[in-house]
Every structure is written in C-alpha cells, then in structure tokens.
Amino acid sequence: MDLLKLFYGLSFLTAVLAFAFAAYLYLWVKKQRTVNARIQEVSALIKEGANTFMRREYSILARFALVVAVIVLVLLPTPIWRTERILDNVSIAIAYLIGTALSAVAGKIGTLVATLSNARTAEGAQHGIKPAFLIGFRGGAVMGLIVVGCSLLGVAAVLMVVGDATILLGFSFGASSLALFAKAGGGIFTKTADIAADLTGKVELGIPEDDPRNPAVVADNVGDNVGDVAGMGADLFDSNVAAMASALVIAQSLSGSYANVPMVFCYAILGLLASIIGIATARIGPHGNPTRALNSSTYVTTVVFLVLTAAATALVDGFSWRIWGASSVGLLVGVIIGITTDYFTDDSRPIVRKVAHASGSGPAFTVLSGVSYGFISAMPAMVGIAVSALVAYQLCAPMGDGYAIFGISMAAVGMLSIVGMIISNDAYGPIVDNARGLAEMGGLGEETIRIADELDSAGNTVKAVTKGFSIGAAGLTVISLLGAFMSEANAALAAAGKELLTGFDIMEPTVFFGILIGAAIPAVFSAMLILGVDKNAQRMVAEIHRQFNSIAGLREGKAQPEYDKCIDIATTGALKELIPAGLMAIVATLIVGFIGGPLAIGGFLLGDIVSGLLIALFMSNAGGLWDNSKKYVEAGNEGGKGSEAHKAAVIGDTVGDPFKDTAGPSINTQITVVSLVSSLLSSLFVAFSLFG
C-alpha cells in the first residue's frame, strides 16, 4: 500500500500547489487598479447583491444540510437499528457535511474573485485587450483551481481516513445536493433578473441593456455571478467528485492489481497539474483573438494531460495502457463534443445564420428552427458518449471481471481531468459580461465597450463549448454511477442473503417500468424550473412597474432605483421555485425504488440519464443558438437592430434564456443527485419493495 500513500501525499501536495497558484492569481487581480467612482459603486452593489443571495442561500442550505446529515446518520449505509457498524453511519454523515462545506467554500471564493475582477477588467479594457483579457481570465482561473483543488483534497482526505470508498458516495452526495441548489437556484435567479430587465427595459421603456435606471440591472449582473460562476463551479465540483468517487468505488471492488486506486488519484493529480500549466501559459497579443487564446489553453492542457499520463503509465508498475487508452478516449471525445457544439452555436457557422434568416418570417420560425437544430445538435454528443463508452469498455474488458465498467469510469475521469481549465474558461464569461455592463454604466467610451464586447463574445462561444463538454462528462460519469449503484446494491443483496444482480435487463418489466418513469423526470424537472423562472420574472416585472410609477424622477435618471428590492425578489423566488423540482426528482426515486426495488432503480437511472442527456443538450444548444443568432442580427445582418427579424430573434433569445442557463445545465446535477440517492438507499430498496 506504499503506492497509495505516495499518491495520497501527492494529492495533498498538488491541491496545495493549486491553492497557492490561486492565491497568487487572486493577489495579482486584486493589485489591478479601479479608479472610476461610478464603476466602483455599481461593482460594490453587485458584490453586495451576490453576497446577499449567497448568505440567504447558504443559511437555508446549512439547515437543509443538517437535516439531511441527520437522516443520513440514521439510515445510511444501513439503518442504525439494524447495523453493528454505527461508525460507518457517522463517517458517511460527516463526509456528507464536508462535501457540502467544500462546495460552499469553492462557490463563495469563486464569486468573491469574480465580483472583484469585473470592475478591474472593465477598466483594464481602457488599456487594450491584453490586460483586460488577463484580468478576466485569471479571475476565472482562481475559481477553477479552487474547485479542482478542493475536490482532490476532499476525496483524498476522506478516503485516507475511512479507507472505504462507499463513504465517498456520502461526500459526493454532499457536493451534489449543494450543486442542485447552487446551479438550479442560481439559474432561476439569473434568468428571473435577465428576463425581467429585458422585458421592462428594452421592450417597454426602450432603454438600452445595462441602463442604470432599470431597477433590475444590478440583479441581472448579480445573476451572472451567482448563476454562472458559483452555480457552474458547484456543478463541476459535483461532477468531478462524482466521477472520482464512482471510479474509486469500482476500483476498490476490483481484484487483480493493487494499483487501481492509486491510478485514479494519479490521473486526477495530473489533470490538475495540466490545468495549472494551461492556465499559466494563457497569453494573448495586444490585438489577439480572445476565443483563440481560450481555446489554445484548452488544447495545451489536453496535450499536457495526455503526455503526463502516458509517462506515468510507462513509469509506474501496475498502471495499464488500456486504462490510459480509455481515459484518453474520454478526453478526446470531450474535445470533439465541444467542437461540434461550437458548430451549432457559433455565428460564423451556417446554423446560427439560418436561424437568423428564419427570423425574417416571424418569431414562430425563429422558435421552430431553433428547436429543430437544438434537437439535431444533441446527436453528435450522444454518439460521442456512446462511442467512448463502447471503446473504453472494449479496451478494458480483457483485463478481467469488472474492469470494463472501470474503463468507462476512467473515461469519465479523463474527460473531466482538464476540468480546472474548463471552469477557468467558463467563469471568464460572466466576469467579462459584467465588465461590459460596468464599462457601459461607467461611461468608459466606445472603444473600451468594443473591447469589452469582443471579450464577451469570446466568453459566449467558449461557454457553449464548455457546456457541451460538461454535459458529456456528466453522461459518462453517471454510467459509472450506474456501475457504482450496482456494486452497492449487490453488497446489500449479499448482506441480505439474496440473489445478486448481474445486470439490468430491458425485458425485465421492473427495469422497463423504471426506464419509462426515469425518462420523464428530466422533462418534468426542467419544465418546473422554467415555469419557476416565468413566475418569478412576473413578480419582478410587477416590482419594476411599481418603482417606475412611485419613484419620482426615476425615468429621467434623476433618482436611484431600489436595486435591492429586485435582488430580494430574485433571491426569495429562486429558492422557493427550486425546492418542488428537486423534491419531485427525489420522491420519484423513492416511489420507483419502493415499488420496483433495485432493478427498477437501475432502469430509472438509465431513463433519467438518457433523456436527461438529450434534453440538456437540446436546451443548452438551442439557447446558445438563439442568443448568438440575436447577436448576429444585431451586428447588422437580416435587417439589423429594430427590424422584424430582430424582434423575432429577441423572442427566440428570451425563450432560450431559461433553456440554456436554468434548465439545461441543472439537469446534470439532478441526475447526479438521483444517482447518489439511489446508491445510498440501495440497502433500503433491497429490504423493502413491492415487486423487487
């Protein structure tokens, strides 16, 4: 077990290195100056708004987490009245709490840096694209490094202390239950504000985007931070932890090599190192293209990861080239999914232009063509995930029993290995988006706004790519979670002296039953979130109307709107609308489990994964497509701003907003939560079920 100790040590060392580098970047960003008073003021408002939301969210979450921790303590992995090993229950409850805490810390720090970077990026843009790009990117990178550092540290620490990977599922469950709140709640927040601001500002009052007279404008900027930075960070923390945890659960159950568990850590370590190198080498010339700069850092990270893992495989006795192949296939497929997503959402490609052209015939055609291409865009990613799972399985199957599914989980680890880089790119987006708004509000002049626009547009393109990437990774991860669920269910079945599962046969009626219901879950879940945004936006619109009617001089810009009222509405509504959707998914899991037992749950997870992937890809891509086709029209095409095509494109964009920023990206988290609930409750489903 010396090898394992070595890799525990290396994990801690790498995590510390990541934190140190993050601290360096943080200080570097902080050192940059802001002088514009108006920008400082608004930036402070955004920061305060984000803090308000996160404080409220975390105070609700802390209570929620404590309640769940008690439930976990009593019930998991075995009900406390039926087990001798109470220590396991205690460990899993503590692991759960650590998972929530680390996720909260990562989200908090990320938002802190993001709200620090936005003003500095805006003012940096006065000196050209180079300084502005670096501030935005490095601000985002702090989040990326913290998230990946925390996940590596947490997983290594929990496993080292308890020695049993099952406990890790508790840690992972903590991460994912927080991610559900952060991602879906943040998503509702951000789109509530965005839609309400657009509806009243652009449509009713005819004032420009980001106009300071609009009471929703600060809430809109806060939304970018809590939805896109904190939410997305929690989401990827969750995926990353889930991928590692399920790989480790499977690795521990394998016989044949002592090196499997260390290998999982090795890949995670090298992924983080590769991300650090990618981040450190990110550069742009004085007139460079920010999209290219972001993408080339991603490619650097990918190549460094492939080379480092190959070197490790050659050097360390017991590491296998087959596993290296599986992980590499996962990573490469991730890159390919990213590139195909780009094809559907980039405005230099035909699809965005076709949708913009269709807008000329009216909004119904914007919607119809966007929905259609959104559906088609799901195909390449689905095929990519299918092929990588098949190849990983076939590569690793000859290594022995259970290795095939381990191969798939290592493909997921591979796809997520460069997640530090992905988060950096992703968090860059809302920072520069905010910076654009601040440049407008601070009156920094046309050239600065143009630069901020260019940075922002790169953020949008890269965001679509990273989103496709993270959905793909989640797809593979949940396959390995299905494997982890089977291990857990079999452990429970063995303990109960029942026959073990050998798989989940579609022709079994309980499996089929589970599949059909599972497939409906992501549809209903995303619908509930979208309706939540709808309802909440209506509330905020009413508030904006109230302010314009009751605050004298607001319309003329002589009085300040009450920004905090809008932030309040977004905060309260987001948390209120989110809970039924989350509960629905969990209650459905319980019903299916107690009716059909572990077989039905296997089917349920499959249905949830497959339809979840489809709907998530559809929604994310259609949303990105509509957003960019609106921008394409605004750039002067198909009649430009103010034309009929533009009006139609704006409607498409509004439809796409909750698709791409609320529902689509929350589906991942819902799938992970449901998978983990299933794994953790497997012994209960084995003990009590109607047809199981």
Using CB under 8 A as the binding rule, the residues of this chain from 195 to 234 that contact its own copies are 195, 199, 203
Binding status of residue 350 toward its own copies by CB under 8 A: no
Q: How far is the CB of 473 from its own copies (least distance, A)?
A: 15
What letter would DSSP give residue 383?
H
What Å distances lie between residue 17 and 11, 20, 275, 302, 424, CA to CA?
10, 5, 12, 20, 16
Closer Cβ to its own copies, 50 or 385, answer by number: 385
Site for its own copies contains 151 (CB under 8 A): no
Q: Name which of 102 and 199 has its Cβ closer to its own copies.
A: 199
As a whole number of angstroms, the distance between CA 193 and CA 410 comes to 39
Euclidean distance between CA atoms 246 and 406, whole angstroms: 9
Looking at 109-117, 162-170, 487-495, 509-517, which segment touches its own copies (CB under 8 A)?
Answer: 509-517
- What string marks each residue from 432 to 471 as x (binds its own copies by CB under 8 A) or -? ----------------------------------------
Q: How many chain residues interact with its own copies (CB under 8 A)?
A: 81
Q: Is 415 in the site for its own copies (CB under 8 A)?
A: no
Q: How far is the CB of 610 from its own copies (least distance, A)?
A: 5
Q: Give the x-and-dash track for 271-310 against its own copies (CB under 8 A).
A: ----------------------------------------
User: Are 217 and 41 a contacting pair, CB within 8 Å?
Assistant: no
Give the residue, chosen from 359, 470, 526, 669, that forms a contact with its own copies under the rule CB under 8 A: 526
The nearer residue to its own copies, 526 or 668, going by C-beta atoms, is 526
In the list 179, 245, 264, 367, the residue contacting its own copies (rule: CB under 8 A) is 367
Q: Shortest approach of its own copies to residue 464 CB, angstroms?
A: 18
Half-sphere exposure of 413 (CA within 13 A, CB side): 35
Residue 486 host element (H or E): helix 446-495
- Contact segment (CB under 8 A) with its own copies among 41-49, 97-105, 378-386, 412-420 equals 378-386
Q: Does 645 bind its own copies (CB under 8 A)?
A: no
Taking CB under 8 A as the rule, does residue 504 contact its own copies?
A: yes
CB of 383 to its own copies, least distance (A): 6
* Least distance in angstroms from the C-beta of 534 to its own copies: 6
Q: Decide if 245 contacts 172 (C-beta within 8 A).
A: yes
What is the DSSP secondary-structure string of 627-669? HHHHHHHHTTGGG-TTSHHHHHHHHHHHHHHHIIIIIHHHHHH
Q: Which is nearer to its own copies, 437 or 652 (CB)?
A: 652
Lay out the site mask for its own copies across 597-616 (x = CB under 8 A, - = otherwise).
-----xx--xx--xx-xx--
C-beta closer to its own copies: residue 60 or 531: 531
HEC profile for 160-177?
A: HHHCCHHHHHHHHHHHHH
Q: Does 41 bind its own copies (CB under 8 A)?
A: no
Instruction: Decide: is 593 part of the binding site for its own copies (CB under 8 A).
Output: no
Structure tokens that stand for 595 in this block: 């009716």
Cα dihedral sign, 129-130-135-141:
positive
Alpha helix segments (H runs only) across 316-418: 321-345, 350-358, 363-396, 403-417
Q: How far is the CB of 203 from its own copies (least distance, A)?
A: 7
- Residue 67 contacts its own copies per CB under 8 A: no
Only one of the segments 161-169, 312-320, 450-458, 530-538 lies at the binding site for its own copies (rule: CB under 8 A); that segment is 530-538
On the CB side of 504, CA atoms within 13 Å amount to: 27
Distance in Å, CB of 618 to its own copies, minimum: 7
Task: Give yes or no for residue 513 binding its own copies (CB under 8 A).
Answer: yes
Q: What is the C-alpha separation between 533 and 577, in angstroms, rounded?
A: 8
Closest Cα partner for 150 from 14, 326, 6? 14
Determine the Cα–Cα distance for residues 663 and 59; give it in Å rounded to an integer. Answer: 24
* H/E element, 132: helix 129-162
Q: Which of 52, 252, 296, 394 binds its own copies (CB under 8 A)?
A: 394
Q: Judged by CB under 8 A, does residue 344 bind its own copies?
A: no
Stretch that binds its own copies, among 210-218, 305-313, 404-412, 681-689 (CB under 8 A): 404-412
How far, in Å, CA of 524 to CA of 533, rounded? 14
Q: Which of 86, 386 has the CB closer to its own copies?
A: 386
Least separation in angstroms between CB 260 and its own copies: 19
Residue entry with tokens 């490469």: 332
Q: Is residue 386 a contact point for its own copies (CB under 8 A)?
A: yes
| Among positions 3, 122, 152, 404, the unique one binding its own copies when judged by CB under 8 A | 404
Does 71 contact its own copies by CB under 8 A? no
> Is-contact 440 449, C-beta < 8 A?
yes
| Contacts to its own copies from residues 646-685, by CB under 8 A | 651, 654-655, 658
Q: What is the spatial distance between Cα 650 and Cα 203, in angstroms, rounded to a whole number?
A: 10
Number of Cβ within 10 Å of residue 449's Cβ equals 20
Q: 3-class DSSP state for residue 392?
A: helix
If we measure between CA atoms, which residue out of 521, 533, 540, 527 comes closest to residue 577? 533
In the complex, minimum distance from the CB of residue 530 to its own copies, in angstroms, rounded to a whole number:
5
- Does residue 515 touch its own copies according to CB under 8 A? yes
